[in-house]
Structures are given as C-alpha cells and as structure tokens.
Chains A and B, each alone.
Chain A
Amino acid sequence: MSGQPYRLPANVGSGTTGRILDRSRRIAFSFDGKSLSGHPGDTVASALFANGIRLVGRSFKYHRPRGVIGSGADEPNALISVGESGRHEPNQRATQVELYDGLVSKSQNNWPNLKFDIGQINSKFSRLIPAGFYYKTFMWPQSAWMFYEHFIRNAAGLGTAASEPDPDTYEHMHATCDVLVVGGGVAGLAAAQSAAAAGARVMVVDECARLGGLADSSSGLIESSPQTEWVQSTVSTLAAAENVHLMTRTIAAGHYHHNWCLLLERVTDHDPSLAIQGAPRHRLWKVRANQIVMATGALERPLTFANNDRPGVLLASAARIYVNRYGVSPGRRGVVFTNNDDAYQTALDLTRAGVPLARVVDVRTDPRGELVEEARAAGIEVVTGMAVTNVDTVAAGAKIQSVKVAPYKAGSRIGGREERIECDFVAVSGGWNPAVHLYCHTSGKVKFDEDLQSFKPDRSFDQITPVGAANGTYDLDGLISEASNTGAAVAKKAVGSKVKRSKSDRPLASSPKAGKLEPVWFVPATGALNEGNKHFVDFQNDVTAADLELAAREGYRSVEHIKRYTTLGMATDQGKTSNINALGVLTGALQSAIPQIGTTTFRPPYTPISFGAIAGTNAGNRFLVVRRTPPYEWHCENRADFEPIGQWRRPYCYPKPGDSRHDAINREILSVRNEVGLLDASTLGKIELKGPDAAKLLDRVYTNTFSTLKVGKGRYGLMLNEEGFLMDDGVTVRLADDHFLMHTTSGGADRIAGWLEEWLQTEWSDLKVYVTPVTEQWAQFAIAGPNARNVLENLDGDIDFSADSFEFMSMKVGRLTGYPVRAFRISFSGELSYEIATPSNFGHSLWLALLEAGENHGIQAYGTEALHVLRAEKGFIVVGDESDGTVTPLDLGLGWAVSKKKDDYIGKRSLERAYLAAPKRKQLVGLLTQDPQEVLPDGAYAVAELKDKPPMEMIGQVTSAYWSPTVGRSIAMALIKDGRNRLGDVVDFPLDNGKVVKATIVDPVFYDKEGAKQNV
C-alpha cells in the first residue's frame, strides 16, 4: 500500500486487522500542508500512523516533540487544528477526529514548524523553569510584569481561534427517558438490553461512531464467540426496539441536579458536507432521566519513566486498537511495558498481526495470569521484575531508537544490569482507572480500591448507578451480569408497576483470569543524574514527577494546591491519564496514602463542548428574541429610530427625511403640547390581580391605599423594596371589586410580577389572589395633547370622552371603531391625555385608525425621548432615572403618595430608619443652567466646593437633563443634598472637559405648575 507504509494487511494469520476500515476507498487529507491518504473508518491519528507520521505536536511548556498516546477522549498529546477560516477549530484530539475527504489538519504550538520549533529552547532552560517558577520571578522592575507577560501569553495557548464567524448552526433538543445508559460498550449494551426488555424507555449514548466500546480489543468471549458478534446482534435488536434510542458520536458532558444530563451529539463533524446541506453541526441534548446507568468504562494509565513522553510511547490498549480496529502498526518493533495482565492482550494481538515485539517487560516478579501464560505459550519473550527506565531517541527526541531496561524493585533505586533493547515504540500499561467523572459531577463520592489501585464509585444521592469497568468490574462475565441486573433493577424503579417481566436471558461470558496488578508510580532512571531526566505525569501541561515533588517540598501539600501550583490535570484532557499517577507519585513526596491525599473535583464537561452548541439556535437574530409591539411594522415603515429597552425595541423618535434626532424630538414634543401626539405605550407592564384579597395585596405592596379605590377609578402607586427604596411606580385601576389592573414600568414588568409571586408564595400564602402578567396581551397607546379628545370623538364608539363624563384618573370599557378597548384618562405628559388599550391582535389596526382620526388635528407619533422630555418638563419622575435604588419617595417629594395611616406595607419600617428619615438627604430638585443653551450631561455631579483637581466633595447628581422646546431652554432634574432648602442657590458641575457648568436650584416642575392643561 503505497503511501501508507504502516498499514497492515487486512488478513493476517487466523484474524483480521483494521476491522472497521473500508479499504476499497481512499480518502485524501492533509497534515501541515502535506497531502496524505487514509480510508473511511480512520481517525486522523490512525491515518497519521499509517502514513508513518509519529511527530504530531509540541508540548505546552517545553515544546517537546509529541506523538499519539491514546485512542480516544483521553489523548493528551495529539492535539491538532482542523478546518479552515470560519470552520477552523483548534485543539482537537486527533484520536477522535474521523477522517473525511479533503480534511485539512495542522499541528499546533510550534514555530516556524513542527520539526524545527524555536520553542524547544525552553527545554534547554527547563531547569530554570520548574513548576511555579513564574511566582518567583518577573517581579523586577515593578512595571515590567506586563512586558514579560506579553511573551508568556504569546507562548502559551495551544491552537488559534477561527478568524471568521462560524458558518454552521447548532440546536438544542429536550428529552426525557426512564433509563439513560451512558456508554455503549458491552456493559452499557447489556444494561440497555435488560432495561428495554423490562419495558423502560431507554436512551443509550456513546461518544464513538460505533457502539461496542472495547469489545473488539479486549480478551474474553461471550457465548463462546468473539464479543463483537454479541455486540452486533445486541445493537441490531436494540436499534429495532421502539422503546430504545441509540445515539452515537454523543458524549454525556455533564450530570446535574435531579438526574438532568447534558449530551452533546456531533452530527456533522465526521462529514462537514452535511453541515453545508443544512444539518446542525452539534446538537445539545438536555435529558431528564429517571435513572442513569453509568457504563463509561475505564481509562488506561501510562507509566512514569524517564522520557516517557517521546513519540512512540503509547498506551498498550491504544497499540492493539490501532492494529485491530484501524489496521495500522504503531511501529516496526515494539516493547510492551506493564504492571498488569491486560497489556499481554496487546502483546498477543500485535504478535498475531505480525507486528514484531521485542519483549514484554513486566515489573511484577512472578506474574501468573492466564493471559501471561498464553503470551508465553505464543512464544512472546517476557521478562519479569524489570522496568523500562529510559528511552533513547534520535531526530531531536522525535524518534525512539531503543529503550533501557533494568531490574526493578518498588521503592528502591534502579540497580543492577541495564539492557538496551532496540525498538521504535513502547506500549505501556499502568492499570485502568474507572471513568467516574459523571458520577462525581453532582458530588457522588468515590473510594479507593486496593486491587485496582484506583478510585471507584462509592455513593451518590442521585439515581445514577455505575456498572462494568466504570464500577471497577473488569471481569467480563461479572461485568455482564452486573450490567444486566442493574438494567432490570433501574428499569423497575423507573416504570414501577408497569415493569414487564422478562426472563433474564443474559449471555454467559468467559474471560482469562487475571493476576494481581502491582502499583508502579515512578520508575527511576538509572545512573547518578536521575534528575536530569524528565518523567512526565501530565503530558499536555508538561508536569513531571519532579514538579510534583517540588510542590510538595514547598508546602503545597493539598492535592488542590499541587494541581494549581503545577497545573497538573488542568489541560484540555483534565487529567484523564495523569490524575491517579500523580497521586501515586505524591504518596512518596507527601508520605501519605492515595485515599488520604484524595482527588481534585471532577467538573463538567467530560470532554470539552463547543460554545456554539451551548448557544444553540439562540445566537444571532434569535439572541434574546426581540419583543415587538403590535404596530412594530408601522414604526419601521415610518423610519423609527429604535432603542432597545429590555428585550423590547421601542421607537426613540421618528426622524423625517433631513431631520436630525434633535429636530425630530423637538417636533414631536411640540406636537403634543400644541396639537396631539400618539405614543405606542404597549410595553408598559400590565398585571391583573384577581381574587377576594387583591385589594389587600395591593395595600401591602404599595405605599398608598387601594382598598378604598372605586371601581372604574385609577390611582398612582409607589412600590418600595424592603429597604424602603423606590422600585416601581404606575397607575392601578379597579376593574371590579376583586379585580385590578396594575401598570408597572416597562422595565419592571417581569420583575414586579415575580416580586408579587414571591411574596404570595413565600410569605402571604394565605392571600387569595391570582397574579397574571398580561403585558403582551394588550396594545396600549397614549393620545396626548389639546386635541386628544377631538381625535377620539372622531371615532365610532360607545365611550363618552367628554370632560364631565370621563374624569381624570378613571377608566371605561367599551368599543372604539369596533375594537374592544379599555380607555384610561391618565397623563404622563401633563396634557389632556387618554390611554387606549385593546387586545394585541387589534393593536395595529387601532393604531392606524387613531392616526387617521387625528390627521386633521395634526396628530404625530412620538417616541420615548419626547415622552421623557414631556414628563421632565412636568417634573414627573422616571423610576431608574430619578431613582436608583437609594432613593425614597420622600426624597423625590412624593410624600403625598405614602400613607401615614396604613399599618404596614413593604418598606414602611425601613423608611422610619434614622438615615432614611434624616433631614438633609439628597432631594429631587430642578436645575436651570446659567447659560440656557447649555444642557447638563446626564449624571454630572455637583460639588460642595470647586477645586483645581480631584478629589472634590460631591453633593448630588443630575438625574435627567434635556433641551426643552416647550420652555425654550435647557432643563434638568437632580438629586442634591438638602436640595429643597436650597432653592435659588447656584451649584457647580465640573465636567470632564475642564468646563464648569453653573446651575440654579429650582422647583422641578417647569411647565404648567397648576396642572391646568391636563384637566380640561
């Protein structure tokens, strides 16, 4: 096979290699610009192996050459970037990237190129830069840190981010199920099978493209046949079952409270043409499972010896997976290095496939498991009581030439005869760690297991049950029976009495009896200068055994301190291959046992998930979906200049061609003052309160009294928080004895509805009243100006708008040009004014009808800015402008709206506190600048005394400031200390341009003080 020198023939001896490959087809891809080929079924990692490429990346800190270590999610080294421009994605594990035609991949973290990387120089300085070195230096001179940091930042980071926005889409799915099985290996499938047979709705998810887990690469038979046969038949049964949903390429990313599970399905990553056709790239599934079966398997751990990071050192399981699954040889001649029986399966599989093996090096003095015997019988050379102590390399560390092997005894220095064995790869196994991550996300506890020399699940408050290797059960028959029983048991829990009795037809399995594992946490190098060699524990973050020891020596003794000081386990693999080995190394350094040292916290996600998927479809134009009022289209057609208010978009003003904003606003204001204006006030918060206690509730949440309000009348109310500060205001009208309509500020609508509910649900559960937010059910328009009544009378209807019949602060229900309406006579502009509400569906038509009716009366639509100026001219406050969470009604001069008679209301007690009742608080006043043309900036502060430079004592601030076309000059409202006693005083506002604006304190009502205009 030209071009793929390490590809093994499909049929070797009695078996096959490359089980999942489609060798009839070739796929072209590139790595660092080089054109290569592979087959369907390959991952980038297997294809690189096939092409003889071992050097895949550079390490984070020392820029050491690195190759592939694993075969899946645990891969720490082989991180590559895939894709171009907007589809460029960094930091992908080559072991999980499925090959597709035209795939463009690149190595990372090197310059100018992977083979010759300048950063390697860090290796030369490595003695100067041990763990945490940066805490000890870069401190001189004081200002220089950012200079050093600049270089550190550029050197850090792995791949690069895309330069263009992401062209792909993402979506969210929601699901529930009785049993969620995480992991589709033998244990997961067995559990799913029995749960499904019991009648449960089952979801099975697996991160790989195919189900079966390690069935194709582990020892043992099911029903006397290869495990893959059982997998195949089980998968087809499950796939056909109506109550089972199988999902591949899907990780269970996180487990949250109450068995809520987050899944990420990679839909198009293996074939981007699907995305181009419109499929979402990722789907984020939110699944509430009654029961979770955690069958996440186990992760193999490497061994810690000198230069164990060289390309060519890989996990024993990975070595046989590359052979069995992908038909590639990890090298020309290998050595297996182990402390347990499982790696013998690698030796056997490799030998069967014709991959030359120099030796199995076993640290145990007398291994006697069945696989060991089988290997010996197959003629594989096994040396025991020995360890690999170092590797020799050529090509600047990128290629292994040989390993050193020496007699090994736990806890003592390497001594005795050292042998050199020629090889170009080393398959290592230090044992297996149950993948307990998911179990721990909601604080499930793990315990240390002496046999496994690892942690396994212990107890959890959630309905999550571990089975199989994830539970530390590695023996095949035991694992199947555990999984089968669990599947049935949790199904019964989930479906209760509806459980189907199915006779247990769990398959029988057999697997070679394994011997005991011997923990090996650190293999010293031979020779005097053991320290000169690097024993890597965390490959990706370049954390060595010496780093861990240094941390411990320096007093960073908590495992969390060690993690943070050395960065152990903080890389993109989150320590999947390194955590337990690190604890092992630390047993020596801390003179403590692993269970006492403990683990760091497992946090979601299991493997990283894309931000795009988290955002789902809620990005772009669906981000915080725009809330539109009924006449929205009319606003657009009429050149409304919109402003966002919460999620709403409201017209700020309606500039005519050639108008500036300023022109438009002034025109709109004057039209209200002189003729009539029309405002879309639909965003105004509307909450209906209904029930016998509605009035009582209102009396408690407002400072004034509503129980005395007559039906058909409205009253302005102030709402305080418990601290006594103003939080909302508005007019509430009584629709019936037990029925009120509350108006809130636009911004407060949702918050106030929540606030009322909170009180009702937590404190006043005895009150009989329903709170129903109806803001969006109603369109509401203000018709304001001297001609307002004429406009309304121009329309057909059954409401009498005359002054006598329709008093100020009252409401009527009726019809207007055929539309059902609620009409209110209220005014926020100081003019004669009505607000007309109609169900939203009619909003647009009524708006048009009002405009038409007003045409001869000079009607004009006005926006929020005109609204603000109009109310400021009248001295009306806006909550959020004049108040800011520190302001009481008395500060605002609204004491008249605060009942002195009521026993209680929210905030009453607080208002009586000394500081709030004190005389010289900041009080609302008006301001007139000495230069009438000068408009004070919003938020400008007045000072007690002008000084050359800050600090200056501040005595208050501008809350609103406008040019008032009505008054023909600038006006402002402000909160000034003791302001009401200082009317007539001139105060100074020093601005940022050095200018000082002088303004006179005045009453805050600038227009129609008597209120004559609104009472006509």
Chain B
Amino acid sequence: MKRYSIFSLARNAANYHKDWGPVWRSPEPKAEYDAVIVGAGGHGLATAYYLAKNHNMTNIAVLEKGWLGGGNTGRNTTIIRSNYLQDESMAIYELARSLYENLSQELNYNVMFSPRGVLMLCQTEHELRAFKRTSHANRLAGTEARMIDRAEVKRLCPIINDRDDCRYPILGAYYQPRGGTARHDAIAWGYARGADAMGVDIIQNCEVVGIDQNAGRITGVRTSRGEIKTTKLAVVVAGSTTQLMDMAGVRMPIESVSLQALVSEPIKPVIDVVVMANTVHGYMSQSDKGELVIGGGADPYNNFSQRGSFPAVEHTVTALVETFPIISRLRMLRQWGGTVDMTGDRSPIISMTDIGGLFVNCGWGTGGFKAIPGSGWAFADTIANDRPHPIAAPFSLNRYMIGHSIDESVAAAVAH
C-alpha cells in the first residue's frame, strides 16, 4: 500500500500522477476462505479490516453485489454522535465515535471526520425533558454532551429561527460538541483499502444468491460468480438482511423502508454545526462542498426500492424552511433514498445465530453510519472468537426472545 501524505502527493505530481496504483485489487474469488462477509458497506468493510488487523484473519473475502460502499453507507447524511440514551447504545456508539477521532491516521486515508458539533433541538416541554434525561445518563456514563439554552443555540447556529412567536420556539438543545460528520465514501474506501492491503479479497459485482449449510453449520455460499466455501459467514447487508437471512432459513425481526435525503446547491458556508429538529422532523448540516445536507423521517411503508416519495421530502423541507428561513430561496439539487433496516426497538443486531458459523450484523436503520468503526470492531471480535464481544452481547438476536429491548425511539423519533 502506498502511503498517502502531502509528500507522496507532491512526488507523484511530478509525473502527472501516472504512478498511483489501484487502491484495492479486483481479485477473482477463491474457492474457499476462512470467513466470508456479505456486503461491502461500511459495516462489512470495517469488520473485514478489524478481522485482519486485530485477529490476523486475512484469508477472508467481502462479497458485494454492486460497488463497494454503494448501499446506505454511500447514501447517508453522515451524522456522527454518541449521545444515545440506553447504556448499551452509549457503549457501542461511543466506541465508534472515539475510533472516528483518529480514523484518518489509522487508515492513512482522510475520512474527514469533522467534530463540528451536533445540536438536537428541544421544541416541546416533553422533548426538553427527554433530552435532559439523556444528558444525565450520558454524563454518568462519561459521554461528553450538554444541554444548552436558546442563546447558545443561536450563537452556534446564527441562521436558526429563534423567534418567540414561531410555531415551535426553541427551548434549548442537547449538544454534543465532539459529534459531527465524516465523508461517507471515504469511510468505505479507507476501510477497503486498508483491508485489501492486509490481503482481504474484496469482490465487487458478486451477488450472494444462496447459503449452504450442513448439519446446522455453514458450509459456503453460492454467488453470481460461483460457489465459495467457508465455515464462517457474516451477513452485513442492511436493507437486504431479510432476503439474505431467508436464504439460510432465518427469519429476522427487520422491516425495510426507504429513508430519503437531499442536498441543496452548494453555497458559501452558512451553518457549521449539525442541527436536528425532531419535533418538526428535519435535520441539516453543510458539506465541505457547500451543499446543505438534509434529511428527515422515513417513508411510512415497507419497500426495497432505494427511492422515496415526495411527501416525505415536502414534510422535511417545510420543517427546515421554518427552522432556517433563509433557505427558502435556495434550491433542492438532488433527492435520493436508501433502504434502511428497521428493528422494533431501533437498535441494531450484532449476533451469532442458531446456525453454526452464521453471524449477522444489521438493524442499524436510520443511524448506523456513526457506528461503523465500533460495530466492525465488536463484530470482528465476535466472529473471530465465536462468542459475542461484550459490547455486542446486548445486541444479540436473543434479546427479542427474552424481551431485553434497547429502545432508542424513546430518545429521538428518528435516530440519525
């Protein structure tokens, strides 16, 4: 792997950048691997990276039906925060957030983690109480975040509507200064490059179409590029989870819905922080390119289309025009959708299954980008050791059997 730095950039400039090699190989699938990961999204790639890095498992493959990073990892609005309500959530999201802090250096790939601060507005008494509760819980868990008042909200985000007579006057906000955003593609690419350099085969355009098992143990997968044998299979396919697990005969407590996002045309910076307004269902930040990055609630029906409907967009945009009046004359450049994998308690599943060698990581729904490093870390450990990593353990499938929900819908209507 060629190291990236200002110096290597300068060296290569001399030769018009003709000497850069591929960031990852395009290998043919081997007949057999020690472990196979299905899905080259952020979670699958991070899992591969940490399997190789932390557990020395390098004879492994990541199979991707399309192009790596092309699922929700390449479609999301990149909000990163760890101020979740439940203990179990705080643990995994904070592990992830702290890994983000030096991920660029770790991967030698600038993932542009930008802890510009995340504000979750409080616009009703009820919301204020809920976030106060979260703030108490976070503080005692050691997660850094605090309640701020309207004046500080305005100072952090001058374009916000802070009028007393607006529909939902701002009562304050829950603020995580070290939350922020990162460049989504770079997360996928950086992990892919790192994993590839350690020998992991990342095989794109390779769709898994069947899962083979014998006597309750995984024996391999069938793919659009032939059969591949393995005894450890990790399914990390977000919106496609139910379809994949169905191939192994496992019914998942997951519903797939469309979640949309949109961007404005690029403009000079107007907003430095990420603002989430849950009462009115909209959130906004500004990318380094200058686009306002906007999202809201999910479309309210199940589907696999990776497209949404306009009413969801209308709802979100209306809320944000109300929240940030100056955006009225800016324009929507592009809207898109991703298929998100929703669980009943809005928390993920990182789990072993009843089938030997079959592991599953899914259910990140509307908010799993922020979790990628932590999830990959804990999941790799689970796969390598055939037992749940302590941080992953509460997120096992079994929790639905015993009723140990980790309900995050309590804290925020849509968790991004």
Contacts and interface: CB of A to CB of B under 8 A. Distances in A.
Given A142-B104, A550-B17, A558-B204, A87 B310 contact: no
Interface in B373-398: none
A919 interface: no
B4 A954 contact: no
A968 interface: no
A601 B87 CA distance: 40
Nearest to A620: B322
Interface residues of B, number: 110
A284 B219 CA distance: 56
Nearest to A156: B290
Contacts of B335: 254, 603-605
A127 interface: yes
B129 A939 contact: yes
Given A558-B204, A938-B129, A135 B186 contact: yes
A885 B67 CA distance: 38
A554 B328 contact: no
Interface string A684-728: 000000000000000000000000000000000000001111000
Interface in A61-114: 86-91
Contact of B110 (A128, A139, A262, A940): A139
Interface residues of A, number: 115
A913 B266 contact: no
A880 B159 CA distance: 32
Interface in B63-116: 66-70, 74, 87, 101-102, 104-105, 108-110, 112-116
A442 B136 CA distance: 46
A426 B333 CA distance: 30
Given A166-B329, A572-B333, A624 B137 contact: no
Contact of A957 (B136, B190, B279, B334): B136
Nearest to B186: A135
A160 interface: yes
B110 A157 contact: no
A442 B307 CA distance: 8
B264 A624 contact: no
A-B residue pairs, 5 tightest by C-beta:
A939-B133, A157-B290, A555-B22, A913-B403, A608-B331
A892 B112 CA distance: 46
Contact of B322 (A134, A443, A619): A619
Nearest to A952: B140
A448 to B, nearest CB: 19
Given A160-B267, A554-B20, A724-B403, A619 B112 contact: no
A603 B289 contact: no
A531 to B, nearest CB: 4
A618 B316 CA distance: 12
Contacts of B141: 950-951, 954
Interface string A517-541: 0000000000000010000000000
B330 interface: yes
A643 interface: yes
Contacts of A10: none
Given A91-B267, A139-B108, A915-B404, A626 B167 contact: yes
B314 A614 contact: yes
A334 to B, nearest CB: 32
A885 B133 contact: no
A135 B264 CA distance: 23
Given A165-B328, A623-B322, A915-B403, A137 B266 contact: no
B9 A161 contact: no
Given A286-B310, A550-B17, A723-B403, 5 more contacts: A160-B268, A554-B22, A619-B322, A939-B135, A954-B87
B9 A133 contact: yes
Nearest to B404: A915
Q: Determine which residue in A160, A609, A644, A990 has the highest number of CB atoms from chain B within 10 A of its CB, and name it.
A: A644
Nearest to A912: B403
B326 A880 contact: no
Interface stretch (A145-153, A204-212, A317-325, A805-813): A145-153
A164 interface: yes
A950 B185 CA distance: 35
A553 B136 contact: no
Contacts of B322: 615, 619-620, 623
A639 interface: no
A940 B133 CA distance: 6
A181 B164 CA distance: 46
Given A555-B22, A723-B345, A916-B403, A161 B327 contact: yes
10 contacts: A158-B290, A555-B25, A556-B189, A561-B69, A611-B328, A616-B314, A618-B318, A619-B321, A951-B141, A992-B136
Contact of B102 (A142, A257, A645, A885): A142
Contacts of B66: 558
B405 interface: yes
A941 interface: yes
B20 A553 contact: yes
Contacts of A881: 129
Contacts of B146: 992
Contacts of A145: 104, 110, 112-114
Nearest to A567: B289
Contact of B266 (A133, A557, A572, A914): A572
B197 interface: no
B333 A127 contact: no
Given A546-B16, A615-B317, A161 B407 contact: no
B313 interface: yes
Interface in A636-675: 643-645, 652
Nearest to B8: A136
Contact of B139 (A159, A557, A723, A950): A950
Nearest to B22: A555
B307 A885 contact: no
A886 B89 CA distance: 14
B265 A608 contact: yes
Contact of B123 (A142, A162, A565, A644): A644
B405 A256 contact: no
A229 to B, nearest CB: 37
B265 A572 contact: yes
B326 A614 contact: no
A943 interface: yes
A317 to B, nearest CB: 25
B57 interface: no
B400 to A, nearest CB: 8
Contacts of A286: 310
Contacts of B334: 574, 603-605
Contact of B403 (A137, A611, A910): A910
A134 B9 CA distance: 10
B269 A153 contact: yes
A491 B114 CA distance: 55
Interface string B274-311: 00000110000010111000000000000001010110
B136 A257 contact: no
Contacts of A611: 264, 317, 320-321, 327-332
A135 B109 contact: yes
Contacts of B268: 154, 157-161
A899 to B, nearest CB: 19
Interface in B121-173: 123-126, 129-130, 132-137, 139-142, 146, 159, 167-168
Contacts of A957: 133, 136-137
Interface in B5-20: 5-6, 8-10, 13, 16-18, 20
Contacts of B168: 624, 644
Nearest to A607: B331
A515 interface: no
Interface in B401-415: 401-405, 407, 409-410
B310 A256 contact: yes
A876 interface: no
Contacts of B329: 86-89, 161-162, 166, 610-612
Interface in B218-266: 264-266
Contact of A137 (B6, B190, B307): B6
